[in-house]
Structures are given as structure tokens and as C-alpha cells.
């Protein structure tokens, strides 16, 4: 964001003071929408975030609002554009309170608090007097609007000791990573993205991308009117073992539901009959099995022959970690040359091995526990740096990596990464990952690139979960419900259009 501000000035001659003025106007508009009374307190830091809040105070004052500025420091310490706005505000007659010893009495009569203490780039834990100010804001029991990010949230979403718990956050120009990933997302409340006049060209190629329907719609595969089932690919699924046939069924059905032309399930021979009953549209392919009724290395030649007539492979759901099955998985993945999505037990079979699939078109989809086993780390370490681990493992393995969880991270070997905002806690249920594997595999079979297959699969999967939550609630949701909402999720992807508003609610496509 700092680089974008610099380029806006150097390449387009847009003064930073003008950007701050626009930011102040957007913040004031949002504050007015939230205000259920007369008095607004702006708690401002000494930097540009404070300057944005002070600019908002000026606009609110001109609208007739009783607004006061509480400055965490001395006016003489302000610099640059923030100092200019403070000087204008005081000349306008806006009441200014400098470096108060006790915040609580100042907030009692507020009908709305604007948090403009810290923006992006916060380093280290929040210290006095900012810590006490944030605690007072949170304890005041008043509606809170944060500017850009809730004060106390780091750029990676971590809470730096203490943070403002906002009802809404107006983030300027583009969403910030710290309020999209957890735990920062818990503190941001409803997120609105404000247009502050930065040229669109400067916002189009970030290293990190938040997935949205309008972004994904440009990559949706075409459905020609003269197509046939062969047009949309053939996915081979290797899944299932005794007690885990449901994983195979859900994976196959999900692949069909995203538009795959043909799906064949490779299954241990003793389980084939039950899968013939469970599956109607997918074909089955009985394969040699171990004594534990899991796939055997003896299946290798049959699988090789089958893959010659398929466009992609999905492997892992319910496949088991029997030693012979793991031997089969490792050998197969080393030799195949078609796109593949590798999930669940297939990933566990790779734990402890050197994983380098460079040159292959693979998508690996670990949950945090599987990721910890793959890289030899502890689970808390993975969860504390989800973006970092996903990016490193993607580059080391040569694969697209989908690190599942709240705010799933998708990373490419080239270094780009994506954050998925869809999904909810109702999806914390068995079988959800099997459905996702089928969806990603289905896109791979249709000729969609590994990266775009992962992006489509993850976003649609979570969007179906959000649609299901609206109708069913979180507690009763099961994996099979995801497939029921795919038609509506596809409609949202196909027909969503970017709104041309000055302040757009970030997660607003469910009602579109």
C-alpha cells in the first residue's frame, strides 16, 4: 500500500494530501451511516491513520455532527499531511483533546467512536498510552468504526498484545491482509473497501489476491453449445478403503457436479459392489487390494492403462495409509504426467518423504495437521504463519498448495498467493475435504490450469457452505449439503458484476 501511494504521486501526480482528503470523506460517510445520535469521538494517533481520522472529523463537523478529536500525543508532534489536517480542524473550531490521562470519561457521551490510532505496518506489541486507549475504546460499549485496520492488528493478522474490536472497518483502496485472515478478521467486523481515487492500474497486480466472484468469473471454463461429454474431460478418482467408501462417493459426485464429462472411481475390488450401488452417474473400476481391503501395488499396471484414457487424477480421500497402499501412492505420483489433485491419506503417505513434483501439474490440498506432517513442523507453528508455510511448501514441492482452514490460502510455485474469504464454521464436518477434492479434480479434467482449478474449487466450496448456512444454519450442515448449493454458487460466479460504488461491502455477494 505504501508503494501504491508512492506510485500514485510519482506516476500520476496525485498528492498524498488529496488521498487523505478522499479517505476522510469516505470514513465520514460510513460514520454518518452508523451514527444513532449526535456525538462522534475520533481517537487519533500521530501518523497518517490519525490524519485520515482527523480529515473525517472535518467532514463530519461540516455535516453538523458534534465531533471531537482525542489526540494520543501532542499536536506539535504531528507531521506531514496529518499535521495539515489537524491545523485545518483546529482552525474550524473542532474541539481537540491532547494526550489525556484518562480516556474513559471522554468516551461516555460518545454515540460513535472512530478508531484512527494505527494503520498498517504496526511493529511490536502495543505500548502505553495506546494500550490503555484501545482498552478504553473496547470497554466503552459504543459502536466502533476503525480506519483501514483495527488498531493493534498486525499486517499478518496477529493481535499485537491488544486490538480494537470494531463493528465496521473502512479499509482504504484495497483490503489489507491483516483484516482478511484470522485472528484479525475477528476484530474488523463488517469490512468496507473505500475508493480514495487511486488509479485502477496501480491496484490490479498485487502479489496477494483476495478471491471474489468478479475476479474468478473471467477464468470460468466455456461450455460450447455443440459440446459432448468428452469435451469436458474424464477424471479418474483413486479413493476409498474399508469403512471409508463415503469419501469416494462424495468425491466422485462433486466432480460431476462441477461439469466434468466422465468420472471413473478406482476402488479396491471387494468394495466395488457397494460403490456400484452408491454411485449412479460415475463408473467404477475394481482394482487389486491388500489384505486390509485398501489399494495394492498390484493395481499399478491397471491404473497406468486407465490413466492413458483420462485427463486428470484425484487421489487420496479415504484411501488409507496402509504401508502397501502408501508404496503404491508414492510410486504412482512419481511417474504420472497428467494433472492431479492430491489430498487426505495420499498426502499422509508422502509424510517423511522429500516432496519435489516440479514440472508436474499437481494440486496438494493439506489441512493444517497434514501440512505439519508433510513439512515436519508442529501444528501451532503452521497456524501461526499459514501464508508463509503455504508459500514455502508450494515453492519447495513445485505444486499449487491449498492450505485449508478458516481463510484458506492458495499458493503457486511462482510466488503468488490467494486468500479465500468464503466458508464458515458449519463446514467443520467430516467429508468436506472429499467434496473439495472432487471439485478441484473436476476442473482439472476439464482442462483448467492447476492454479485456477484450486481457486475455483476453494471459492465455490466455501460459497456453497455460506449459502447452506443461510438456509440451514451451521449446526446441521453436512458435506452432502455443499452439492445442493452448487447451482446457485455458479450463478453468482457467472453473473456477479463489480459495483461502481465509492464504498463497497467486502463480503456482499451472497445477496447479489
Q: What is the mean pLDDT of residues 106-122?
A: 95
Domain-terminating residue out of 188, 206, 224 = 206
**In 71-129, which residue ranges form alpha helices assigned H by DSSP?**
80-92, 104-107
126 and 12 within one domain: yes
In angstroms, the CA 117 to CA 146 distance is 9
- Is the same domain home to 116 and 193? yes
The overall average pLDDT reported for the chain is 95
For residues 87-116, average pLDDT: 94
Binning pLDDT at 50, 70 and 90, where does residue 329 land? Answer: very high
Return the C-alpha cell found at 408.
484458506
> Where do we find the cell 496402509?
322
| Residue 190: all three cell numbers together | 463488517
Considering the domain boundaries, does residue 214 fall inside one? no
pLDDT above 60: residue 219: yes
- The DSSP 8-state label assigned to residue 353 in this structure reads S
Give the tens place of pLDDT for each residue, 361-384.
999 999 999 999 999 999 999 999
C-alpha cell at 460: 465455490
Q: Answer yes or no: is pLDDT of 499 > 60.
A: no
* Domain interval for residue 361: 232-499
Return the HEC string of 152-197.
Answer: CECCCCCECCCCCCCCEEEEECCCCHHHHCCCHHHHHCEEEEECCC
136-161 pLDDT per residue, tens: 999 999 999 999 999 999 999 999 99
Cα 75 to Cα 21: distance, rounded to the nearest angstrom = 19
pLDDT at 397: 97
Q: Is residue 227 part of a domain?
A: no
% residues pLDDT > 70 (the chain): 98
∠ Cα 99 102 107 (to 5°): 95
Which of residues 172, 206, 240 is at a domain's end? 206
In a domain, 72, yes or no: yes
Three-state DSSP class for residue 342:
strand
Where a domain ends, among 189, 206, 223?
206
The answer to whether the beta carbons of residues 158 and 186 sit under 8 Å apart is no
Cell digits of residue 448: 483448467
329 and 418 housed in the same domain? yes
Q: Are residues 189 and 337 in the same domain?
A: no
Please report whether residue 510 resides in a domain: no
CB 265 within 8 A of CB 252: yes
258: three-class secondary structure by DSSP: coil
What CATH number is attached to the domain comprising 270? 3.40.1190.20
Do 65 and 110 reside in the same domain of the chain? Answer: yes
Please tell me whether residues 147 and 241 are part of one structural domain: no
- What is the pairing mode between strands 417-419 and 112-116? unpaired
What is the per-residue pLDDT for 507? 80
**244 plus 131 within the same structural domain:** no
Q: What is the pLDDT of residues 432-461, one digit of tens each?
A: 999 999 999 999 999 999 999 999 999 999
Residue pair 36/1 in contact by the 8 Å Cβ criterion = no
The rounded distance, in Å, linking the Cα atoms of 80 and 71 is 16
CA 80, CA 99: separation in Å to the nearest integer? 19
C-alpha span between 73 and 82 (Å, rounded) = 13
Same domain, 197 and 237: no
Q: Is 411 helix (H, G, I), strand (E, B) or coil?
A: strand
Q: What is the Cα–Cα distance from 3 to 247, expressed in whole angstroms?
A: 46
Q: In this structure, are 108 and 250 located in the same domain?
A: no
Reported as a single tens digit per residue, the pLDDT across 193-207 is: 999 999 988 987 667
| DSSP H helices in 202-343 | 213-217, 245-257, 272-278, 300-307, 323-335
Res 500: pLDDT:
54
| 444/323 same-domain check | yes
Is 19 in a helix, a strand, or coil?
helix
Mean pLDDT of 80-103: 94
Q: Are residues 149 and 251 in the same domain?
A: no
Query: Residue 218 CB: number of other CB atoms within 10 A?
Result: 7
Quickly state the pLDDT bin for 101 (edges 50, 70, 90).
confident
Q: Is the pTM of this model over 0.75?
A: yes
CATH of the domain at 105: 3.40.50.10260
Residue 324 lies in a domain: yes
Looking at the structure, tell me whether residues 494 and 354 fall in a common domain. yes
Convert 406-445 to b/e letters by CB count within 10 Å (16 or more is b).
bbbbbbbbeebbbbbbbbeebbebebbbbbbbbbbbbbbb
Query: Which of the four pLDDT bands, split at 50, 70 and 90, describes residue 104?
Result: confident
Sorted by sequence, the CB contacts under 8 Å of residue 467 that are 6+ apart come out as 485, 488, 489, 510
Q: What is the DSSP letter of 475?
A: T
Answer yes or no: are the C-beta atoms of 43 and 112 closer than 8 Å. no
Residue 372 lies in a domain: yes
| In a domain? residue 471 | yes
Crossing angle of the two packed helices 48-62 and 80-92, in degrees rounded to 10: 30
Distance CA 48, CA 120 (A): 10
Rounded Cα distance, 42 and 56, in Å: 9
Q: Is residue 240 a part of any domain in this protein? A: yes
C-alpha distances in Å from residue 325, one per residue of 292, 316, 341, 438: 10, 10, 17, 20
Q: How many domains does the chain have?
A: 2
Radius of gyration of the chain (CA): 26
Question: Cβ(216)–Cβ(493) under 8 Å?
Answer: yes
pLDDT-based confidence at 511, cuts 50/70/90?
Answer: low
The H or E element that residue 481 is part of is: helix 479-484
Can you give the length of the chain in residues? 512
The pLDDT score that the predictor gives to residue 51 is 97
Burial of 224 (0-12, 13-18, 19+ CB in 10 A): exposed
DSSP structure class, residue 474 = S
Cell output for 51: 490524519
Q: What is the pLDDT of residue 401?
A: 98
Amino acid at each position: 500500500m505504501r508503494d501504491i501511494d508512492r506510485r500514485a504521486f510519482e506516476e500520476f501526480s496525485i498528492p498524498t494530501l488529496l488521498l487523505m482528503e478522499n479517505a476522510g470523506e469516505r470514513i465520514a460517510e460510513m460514520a454518518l451511516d452508523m451514527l444513532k445520535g449526535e456525538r462522534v469521538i475520533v481517537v487519533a494517533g500521530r501518523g497518517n491513520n490519525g490524519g485520515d481520522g482527523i480529515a473525517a472529523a472535518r467532514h463530519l463537523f461540516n455535516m453538523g455532527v458534534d465531533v471531537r478529536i482525542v489526540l494520543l500525543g501532542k499536536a506539535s508532534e504531528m507531521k506531514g499531511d496529518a499535521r495539515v489536517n489537524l491545523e485545518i480542524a483546529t482552525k474550524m473550531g473542532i474541539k481537540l483533546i491532547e494526550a489525556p490521562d484518562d480516556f474513559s470519561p471522554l468516551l461516555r457521551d460518545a454515540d460513535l467512536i472512530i478508531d484512527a490510532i494505527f494503520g498498517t505496518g504496526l511493529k511490536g506489541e502495543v505500548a502505553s498510552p495506546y494500550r490503555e486507549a484501545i482498552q478504553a475504546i473496547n470497554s466503552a460499549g459504543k459502536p466502533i468504526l476503525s480506519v483501514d485496520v483495527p488498531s493493534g492488528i498486525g499486517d499478518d493478522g496477529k493481535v499485537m498484545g491488544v486490538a480494537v474490536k470494531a463493528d465496521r472497518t473502512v479499509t482504504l483502496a484495497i483490503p489489507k491482509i491483516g483484516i482478511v485472515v484470522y485472528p484479525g478478521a475477528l476484530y474488523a467486523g463488517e469490512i468496507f473497501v473505500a475508493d480514495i481515487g487511486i488509479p485502477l492500474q496501480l491496484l490490479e497486480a498485487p502479489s496477494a489476491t483476495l478471491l471474489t466472484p468478479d475476479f474468478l468469473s473471467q477464468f470460468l471454463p466455456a461450455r460450447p453449445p455443440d459440446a459432448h461429454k468428452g469435451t469436458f474431460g474424464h477424471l479418474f478418482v483413486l479413493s476409498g478403503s474399508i469403512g471409508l467408501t463415503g469419501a469416494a462417493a462424495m468425491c466422485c459426485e462433486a466432480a460431476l457436479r462441477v461439469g466434468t464429462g466422465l468420472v471413473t472411481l478406482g476402488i479396491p475390488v471387494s468394495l466395488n459392489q457397494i460403490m456400484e450401488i452408491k454411485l449412479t452417474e460415475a463408473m467404477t473400476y475394481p482394482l487389486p487390494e491388500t489384505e486390509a481391503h485398501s489399494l495394492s501395488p498390484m493395481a499399478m499396471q491397471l491404473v497406468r492403462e486407465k490413466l492413458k484414457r483420462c485427463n486428470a487424477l484425484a487421489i487420496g480421500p479415504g484411501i488409507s495409509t496402509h504401508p502397501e497402499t502408501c508404496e503404491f501412492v508414492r510410486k504412482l505420483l512419481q511417474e504420472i504426467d497428467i494433472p492431479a489433485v492430491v489430498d487426505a491419506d495420499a498426502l499422509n503417505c508422502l509424510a517423511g518423504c522429500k516432496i519435489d513434483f516440479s514440472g508436474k501439474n499437481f494440486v496438494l490440498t493439506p489441512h493444517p495437521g497434514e501440512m505439519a506432517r508433510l513439512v515436519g513442523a508442529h501444528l501451532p507453528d503452521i497456524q501461526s504463519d499459514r501464508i508463509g508455510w503455504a508459500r514455502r511448501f508450494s515453492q519447495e514441492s513445485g505444486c499449487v498448495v491449498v492450505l485449508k482452514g478458516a481463510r484458506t490460502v492458495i499458493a503457486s510455485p511462482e510466488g503468488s498467493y490467494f486468500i479465500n474469504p468464503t466458508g464458515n464454521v458449519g463446514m467443520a464436518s467430516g467429508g468436506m475435504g472429499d467434496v473439495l477434492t472432487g471439485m478441484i479434480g473436476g476442473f482439472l479434467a476439464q482442462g483448467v490450469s492447476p492454479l485456477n482449478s484450486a481457486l475455483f474449487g476453494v471459492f465455490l466450496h466455501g460459497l456453497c457452505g455460506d449459502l447452506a448456512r443461510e438456509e440451514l444454519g451451521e449446526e446441521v450442515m453436512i458435506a452432502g449439503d455443499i452439492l445442493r448449493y452448487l447451482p446457485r454458487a455458479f450463478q453468482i460466479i457467472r453473473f456477479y458484476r463489480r459495483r461502481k460504488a465509492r464504498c463497497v461491502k467486502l463480503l456482499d455477494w451472497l445477496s447479489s
